[in-house]
Structure 1
Amino acid sequence: MSRTTTSRTAFFAALAVVAGATGTAFAAAPGAAASAESVPCSVDYTVQNDWGSGFTAAVTVTNNGAAKSGWSVQWSYAGNQQITNGWNAKISQSGADVTADNESYNGSLASGGTVSFGFNGSYSGTNAVPATFTLDGVTCNVDDGGTGGDTGGSTGGDTGGSTGGDTGGSTGGSTGGDTGGSTGGDNGGGNGSRVDNPYVGAKVYVNPEWSANAAAEPGGSRIADEPTAVWLDRIAAIQGVNGGMSLRDHLDEALAQKGSGELTIQLVIYDLPGRDCAALASNGELGPDDLDRYKSEYIDPIADILSDPAYAGLRIATVIEPDSLPNLVTNAGGTNTTTDNCVTMKSNGNYEKGVSYALDKLGAIPNVYNYIDAGHHGWLGWDSNFDPSVQEFAKVATTNGASVDDVAGFIVNTANYSPVKEPYFSIGDSVNGQTVRQSKWVDWNQYVDEQSFAQALRSSLVSAGFNSGLGMLIDTSRDGWGGSARPTGPGPTTSVDDYVDGSRIDRRIHAGNWCNQSGAGLGERPTAAPAAGIDAYVWVKPPGESDGSSSAIANDEGKGFDRMCDPTYGGNSRNGNNPTGALPDAPVAGHWFSAQFQQLMQNAYPPLP
């Protein structure tokens, strides 16, 4: 199977990025031939996935004129393309003519701001990129004769773009919110040149080991060339386990996939002492007091390899210790979710010391971009958890040798199932005088999806002292929730619970359920800069790799049996004493789970061809 990525950028359609079989390409607006001031608006149209009879496209619009409270983008196709469904815009089509109008939640478009939306379409013959786009009737991507600015410059109009710290934050950068400077207006990122967003203008590494597992499944070739992260979940993984690829093998393969362009490889740093104190399925090999081993046998060897000049041309995105710091906030004392193991890790400080050490050592390498794990909205979205989490993250990033300069951003929803966006209800909705926060599902949370949570968390983190160029990642590998159970509109207004339960695309029994969830599907495909403040949608958890075993299975990886992976278990306080919703017959965490992979493809949203 082949998949191409094509794009009409703001200034040079010829600079479109094309992804071959070795990776997904992320297209972005290249260096400006004219200044942002002289181009009233720009549109980046990217075909992210094309299977010969259909395609998925992403559109990013940059407004260089006066601020708008509503917007409408129009274009015409030269072929017979037909849009079948879309998101983040109201899309209509008459013949070859397409109109995309804002949704109620994204009508505001600041001067210098950007907005992104996407859609699926079908076609036969050719799938040419539209030649002309208009924003509210004004033709975009055309110099209107104004003056000002040099190529790239501080406006963020270069290929590097901004991380999404400002109003823009999506493909092509923005005029204002970040500091610009030496951190990255260019399309570099290797050889010591740091960029604002390592995903913009770059392929992302396809793990050959995961790709082979995916391709061996019936229908798996449709996604076998998607980029997924490499998990370094024990010391032995650095040199390779049971004949598998070592870290150097992956980096060497990344260089081969990179070719003459840019490439980002994603590594999960995951071996803290007393790892995952609240979930036995993902316990690790190191004991609670093994901080010295973590430093000398795990982080130091990884840092030595990543700092090899041979790999200076790669962009290396590291996901730092999933679940660790959030556990200290919610499960280490004073609540009904407290566990003795988490109390121990908070008391000895080894989660905080270990994460700080990893940030310091890895952040010193110029082409490494550290993203700290920040749980998900169904974990930290309550007022009582949100602010303490920000304080915890700030503490760890400024002690034990670490600095906020060691932090490129944060990641939410790692290996979880929360949707990027709930399309049919929002946190501000009310039914019969009751806010949706009063529903059993939302349970007074401040958020109902990951993107709103990530953007709010980012703002609070910047206010707490993190750099204004901070970027967020969202793991979308298993949060698509397609299939026949997916709602097609808002639920009934007979009660607030009926409304929320009928509206939510997240079909889990409870938002606290996390292990091998029945009914889940592949989510948004990996995409760079999809929304303000979001560096990328990523597949950090490789689809098809188990969260944990359904029953106890002996192993030499330090991974235990967690009843939340048992479909017969009645639950605990962390999931409101509800059934787990876990799939049966699952293997040990990280091992291939064919039944789950098939389900994820079947329920993918956007759907697979």
Structure 2
Amino acid sequence: MPPAAARRRLPTVLGLLLLLSAAPACSEEPPPEPGPPGAAADIAESPFWVDPRSDAARQVAEWEAAGRNSDAQVLRRIGDRPMALWVPGGDPGPEIRRAAAGARAAGRTMVLVAHNIPDRDCDRHPAGGAKDARAYRSWIGAFADGIRDTKAVVILEPGAVAHVVDGCTRAEHHAERYRLLSEAVDRLKRNRNTKVYLDAGDPAWIRDPMDLVAPLHEAGLERADGFALNVADFQPDAAARAYGAKISKRAGNKHFVIDTSRNGDGPLPGDRAQASCNPPGRSLGPAPTDRTGDPLVDAYLWVKRPGESDGTCRGGPTAGTWWPDYALGLARRARE
């Protein structure tokens, strides 16, 4: 090579040698498997509390101990993210106080679901809810007392208003239900850091959103922070946003939250009752966040805990029971 050409090549060769000397030594250990795309970022940015004792978190630990590391890593898409804590009947105090202590220690907001209204299941099996109005007032008081000044979002009584509108709840219970919901809003709002969202069903349940406006107001919407949509259902975000905007326009521009826990692929086509009970092929929706990009939508939340069964349809266990195989399928099909 001519001397001039060699001099021209010298900086390039020296630069390459410097880069190689700065590179880490080769290792026979493979690099760690990355987590789900964006997971670390959205967990860090979310203001909501992650329950370290959730069924999903415990399943992750169990699978890791058994050497099922690949499945455990996928399931972290659920176990490492914030989900609502459902508080049905019985004494709500101990579990809420546990969550409150964890949320305060983490500097986060806990998300709770109050689900104990009398005649909750319209006299159908499995029947549930407080035995009467007096019992419910006592229960919601204990619920609120457990929260105290901890930052909390409460989804108030999924299905309670929609069941009045669709006729599932008998007419003789309507006035009492509205009164109890309204009182519950007032009791919870006495806590200075509690936000309350009355459940308003979903677009596939009550087809005309205007049918919900007056019932929501009777249930105390004016004094609540807003309403909740798509709880435990699979409707796409866009459909829920459009539906909620129509309610909001007629309800004093009230804001709302959307359950995105299992709506990544939308609903299963067909009859709603069948399509909303453990439908196959579904996936997780957007991770919980208060950065929704929509001024009317206060948050995307995982209200329904992904992986808990909707009931004994399609081979599932009883409603609310942890179903690891279904959870793993939701997580595997997730786009994030």
Please give the TM-score of this superposition, normalised by the length of structure 2. Answer: 0.78
What residue number does 1:228 align with?
83
Cα distance in structure 2, aligned partners of 1:53 and 1:329 = 41
What residue number does 1:544 align with?
307
Q: Who wins on radius of gyration, i.e. which is larger?
A: 2
Cα distance in structure 2, aligned partners of 1:342 and 1:594 = 36
- CA-CA distance at 1:279 after TM superposition: 5.8
Cα distance in structure 2, aligned partners of 1:460 and 1:257 = 38
Superposed CA deviations along residues 77-128 of structure 1, whole A, max 9, x for unmatched, are xxxxxxxxxxxxxxxxxxxxxxxxxxxxxxxxxxxxxxxxx9xxxxxxxxxx
AA aligned to 1:292 is R
Superposed CA deviations along residues 518-552 of structure 1, whole A, max 9, x for unmatched, are 2211111112131231111110111111122x2xx
Kept in 1: contact 2:255–2:296 (CA 8 A) = yes
Superposed CA deviations along residues 321-353 of structure 1, whole A, max 9, x for unmatched, are 00001110112xxxxxxx4x534422xx33212
Q: Does 1:459 align with 2:249?
A: yes
What residue number does 1:238 align with?
93
- CA-CA distance at 1:381 after TM superposition: 2.7
- CA-CA distance at 1:379 after TM superposition: 1.2
What residue number does 1:603 align with?
333
Cα distance in structure 2, aligned partners of 1:279 and 1:418 = 25
Kept in 1: contact 2:212–2:247 (CA 8 A) = no
User: Are the structure 2 counterparts of residues 542 and 56 from structure 1 closer, same or farther at C-alpha, using a change threshold of 3 Å?
Assistant: closer
User: Are the structure 2 counterparts of residues 213 and 354 from structure 1 closer, same or farther at C-alpha, using a change threshold of 3 Å?
Assistant: farther
What residue number does 2:286 align with?
524
User: Are the structure 2 counterparts of residues 458 and 279 from structure 1 closer, same or farther at C-alpha, using a change threshold of 3 Å?
Assistant: farther
Cα distance in structure 2, aligned partners of 1:52 and 1:353 = 47
Counterpart of 1:303 (choices 137, 144, 154) is 144
Please give the TM-score of this superposition, normalised by the length of structure 1. Answer: 0.45
- CA-CA distance at 1:56 after TM superposition: 7.2
What residue number does 1:276 align with?
121
AA aligned to 2:177 is Y
Kept in 1: contact 2:154–2:194 (CA 8 A) = yes
What residue number does 1:571 align with?
none
Partner of 1:453: helix, strand, or coil? helix
Kept in 2: contact 1:419–1:480 (CA 8 A) = yes
- CA-CA distance at 1:391 after TM superposition: 0.5
Kept in 2: contact 1:327–1:342 (CA 8 A) = no
Kept in 1: contact 2:91–2:142 (CA 8 A) = no
Partner of 1:256: helix, strand, or coil? helix
Structure number with greater CO (CA < 8 Å, separation at least 6) is: 2
Counterpart of 2:240 (choices 450, 453, 474) is 450
What residue number does 2:159 align with?
323
AA aligned to 1:305 is G
Cα distance in structure 1, aligned partners of 2:122 and 2:213 = 20
- Structure 1 alignment gaps of length 5 or more: 1-49, 59-117, 119-200, 240-245, 332-338, 398-402, 422-448, 463-467, 482-504, 551-564, 566-582
- CA-CA distance at 1:602 after TM superposition: 2.5
**Residues 104-115 of structure 1 mapped to structure 2, 5 A cutoff:** none
Q: Does 1:534 align with 2:318?
A: no
Counterpart of 2:259 (choices 464, 475, 480) is 475
AA aligned to 1:207 is D
Partner of 2:128: helix, strand, or coil? coil
Cα distance in structure 2, aligned partners of 1:51 and 1:318 = 34
- CA-CA distance at 1:222 after TM superposition: 3.4
**Residues 131-150 of structure 1 mapped to structure 2, 5 A cutoff:** none
Kept in 1: contact 2:86–2:115 (CA 8 A) = yes
- CA-CA distance at 1:358 after TM superposition: 0.7
What residue number does 1:203 align with?
47
Counterpart of 2:134 (choices 292, 304, 314) is 292
- Structure 2 alignment gaps of length 5 or more: 1-32, 64-70
AA aligned to 2:51 is N
Cα distance in structure 2, aligned partners of 1:264 and 1:546 = 25
**Residues 232-271 of structure 1 mapped to structure 2, 5 A cutoff:** 232-239=87-94, 246-258=95-107, 263-271=108-116
User: Are the structure 2 counterparts of residues 325 and 252 from structure 1 closer, same or farther at C-alpha, using a change threshold of 3 Å?
Assistant: same
Greater share of residues in helix:
2
Partner of 2:79: helix, strand, or coil? coil
Kept in 1: contact 2:87–2:114 (CA 8 A) = yes
Cα distance in structure 2, aligned partners of 1:373 and 1:327 = 11
What residue number does 2:202 align with?
376
Cα distance in structure 2, aligned partners of 1:303 and 1:249 = 14
Greater share of residues in strand:
1
What residue number does 1:345 align with?
173
Percent identical pairs in the alignment equals 28
